[in-house]
Amino acid sequence: MNKRQKNRKFFSYTFFPGNRRGFLLAEETLKLVISVIAIGFLAYLLFSLYFSFKNNELEQAEASLDFLMSEIKAGRTSADIYNPEGWWILSGNNELCICKDNQPASCGEKGVCEESFFVIENSIKIEPPPVTLQINQETKIISN
């Protein structure tokens, strides 16, 4: 093999060794299809995880409000609320609410409410968890 043939072989390197005609057949096509399926499955998995955690905050708010109402009905003088972090505890129109925003009017869409005769003295942000609420059973006022 002379120098010219060696140079031609060096500069014409291919990632697909062997015959270049029909290189996307059989084995290579199968690898490509399997790769596309695997990437699609991973994308589906990521979206599933994202949306499961997004809806999880509303479930946490429901559980926290149920816990607070059970503490009130049991006659306790304090309650620790842990979740969801960054949400607000507020009251209005004979309701206790845990909302994403500090707006009682939009709480029905972005939070949970339950009927109660207790009133939140000031809106309370659940940050940093836990927030210890003081429950005054005589005056029906909850404060932190």
Q: Examine the pLDDT at 82 and tell me if it is beyond 70.
A: yes
Residue 93 phi, psi dihedral angles, 5° rounding: 50, 50
Please check whether residue 77 is in contact with residue 135, taking contact to mean a CB–CB distance below 8 angstroms.
yes
- Average pLDDT of the residues in 23-29: 70
Residue 6 lies in a domain: no
What was the pLDDT predicted at 6? Answer: 64
Residue 74 lies in a domain: yes
What was the pLDDT predicted at 142? Answer: 92
Residue 131 lies in a domain: yes
Residue 21: Cβ within 10 Å count: 6
Find the domain containing 70 and state its range.
57-143
Q: Examine the pLDDT at 7 and tell me if it is beyond 80.
A: no
Q: Give the number of domains in the chain.
A: 1
- Average pLDDT of the residues in 89-99: 88
Q: What angle do CA 97, 120, 127 make, to 5 degrees?
A: 70
Contacts of 118 (CB under 8 A, 6+ apart): 72, 91, 96, 135, 140, 141, 142
Residue 79 lies in a domain: yes
Q: Examine the pLDDT at 143 and tell me if it is beyond 70.
A: yes
Q: Sorting pLDDT into bands at 50, 70 and 90, what band is 57?
A: confident
Burial (Cβ within 10 Å: 0-12, 13-18, ≥19) of residue 67 = middle
Regarding pTM above 0.85, the answer is: no
